[in-house]
Amino acid sequence: MKWTTMWGNAQSKVIPQPATYAKDLTLRYPIFVPFDGTKIRITLDNYCVNEKIKIDSVLISKGNELSDKQSNDFKYLTFNNKKQVEIDNNSYVISDELNIDLKANEYLIVNIYLKEYTNLTGGVDIIGPLSKGYFGYGNQSEFIKLDINKSKSTSWVYFLSNIDIYTDDNNKALVCFGDSITSQDWPDYMLLHLRENNINNISVIRKAVSGTRILRQYECITYQSYGLKGENRFIHEVSSVKNAKYVIVQHGINDIIHPVGENINIFRPMSDLPTANELFDGIKYYKECSDKLKLEFIVGTLLPIYNWRTYAPFREKLKNEFNELLLNNYETIDFQNEIGIEKEGIWYFKDECDSGDHLHPSKKAYKLMGDLAANYIIKKECHK
């Protein structure tokens, strides 16, 4: 038996709102359980908030579906034997171990209650067929279902970073690292496809923040949710995953499409535009970190961007050069070839694979990406 991360996400800042604090608020997250275990511990992360926060309680229960409904077998997590926990700015805490008999395919329901005014600017937006969240006014932690008149679903996850389970030695984790492409559906579809093909000993841990770049980060509140650059993210996020075997990186498109010139957007100078080799140096850094963590390193090609609002031929050329460097130097999952088609040097989304913004894939395409990534791992697992 060993500790393995069964669920996780990155940390960033939320899209800025006039109000930065909340109190008397319940956050509820249903978490899919990928394998059996006998105890858990959770990580609460305040990495991107420059202020100490206080969490009044964390209550867990069980559920049978991706919803706000939980059973009444409540258990409170403790931190150094206390229900209440304070987390220093730019820091994190790990709960005490909690004995709980979990079975694969059920849901762990996590309730976080914020009694006092709490800085609620730290969080990340994730979506997918296994991803859901809720908030409710007042302390609803012990409610079987949240009060429909005082609660609402949300795709934002606040503070909850990792959930580790004490499980069989054969179980392991896989990390998906990236930007909005990865904070959306394909990692969830990957996990589902693995399980449909009887690979039940791998959890898929998403470490992704929409808008992030490999080489740059924004220091303004306008783009605060776009998060940290790769150098400031990778080790913090990936090293926190316990018993990880693989990391899949699909990152870099925002480095290419964001710079437009200060005459158009003061925060996006053209001087931010990298060369393909500079982007590739960022991938080399990820590889070096992965080697130190003893992770098998895999990259994914960048996707079509034709007709995206900042599209230009030089961006197409840069993306294609970067993808060629990936394909020629690393183990690569060719996502672009799976959901795109090339004509005269320009890549387009295949039919029904464009979400409509010419950057993000459709649900169909995300499933194709998840299936492709899962099949890549299945092949590696079966050849051992």
Could you read off the pLDDT of 328-370 as tens digits, one per residue? 999 999 999 999 999 999 999 999 999 999 999 999 999 999 9
If asked whether residues 199 and 59 sit together in one domain, one would say no
Where is the domain boundary, 143, 164, 185? Answer: 164
If asked whether residues 133 and 177 sit together in one domain, one would say no
Q: Give residue 383's pLDDT.
A: 76
Give me the domain span that covers residue 158.
2-164
If asked whether residues 237 and 289 sit together in one domain, one would say yes
If asked whether residues 16 and 39 sit together in one domain, one would say yes
What's the pLDDT tens digit per position in 18-49? Answer: 989 999 999 999 999 999 999 999 999 999 99
pTM for this prediction: 0.97
If asked whether residues 133 and 207 sit together in one domain, one would say no
If asked whether residues 20 and 153 sit together in one domain, one would say yes
Report, in angstroms and rounded to the nearest whole number, the Rg of the chain calculated over CA atoms.
Answer: 20
- Secondary structure (3-state) at 279: helix
Where is the domain boundary, 127, 148, 164? Answer: 164
Q: Give residue 283's pLDDT.
A: 98
If asked whether residues 33 and 155 sit together in one domain, one would say yes
Pairing of strands 244-250, 172-178: parallel
Pairing of strands 332-333, 296-300: parallel
How far is the C-alpha of 26 from the C-alpha of 112, rounded, in Å? 6
If asked whether residues 181 and 151 sit together in one domain, one would say no
Q: Where are the alpha helices (DSSP H) in the chain?
A: 180-183, 186-196, 230-238, 253-257, 276-292, 313-329, 335-339, 363-382
Dihedral sign, Cα of residue 373, residue 297, residue 273, residue 90: positive
If asked whether residues 131 and 224 sit together in one domain, one would say no
Q: What is the CATH number of the domain that holds 262?
A: 3.40.50.1110
Q: Give residue 352's pLDDT.
A: 98
Where is the domain boundary, 134, 164, 194? Answer: 164
If asked whether residues 73 and 215 sit together in one domain, one would say no
If asked whether residues 156 and 222 sit together in one domain, one would say no
If asked whether residues 200 and 56 sit together in one domain, one would say no
**Interior angle at CA 230, CA 291 and CA 153, nearest 5:** 115
How far is the C-alpha of 190 from the C-alpha of 131, rounded, in Å? 13
- The total of structural domains in the chain comes to 2
Residue numbers in the chain where pLDDT is lower than 70: 384
Q: Give residue 17's pLDDT.
A: 87
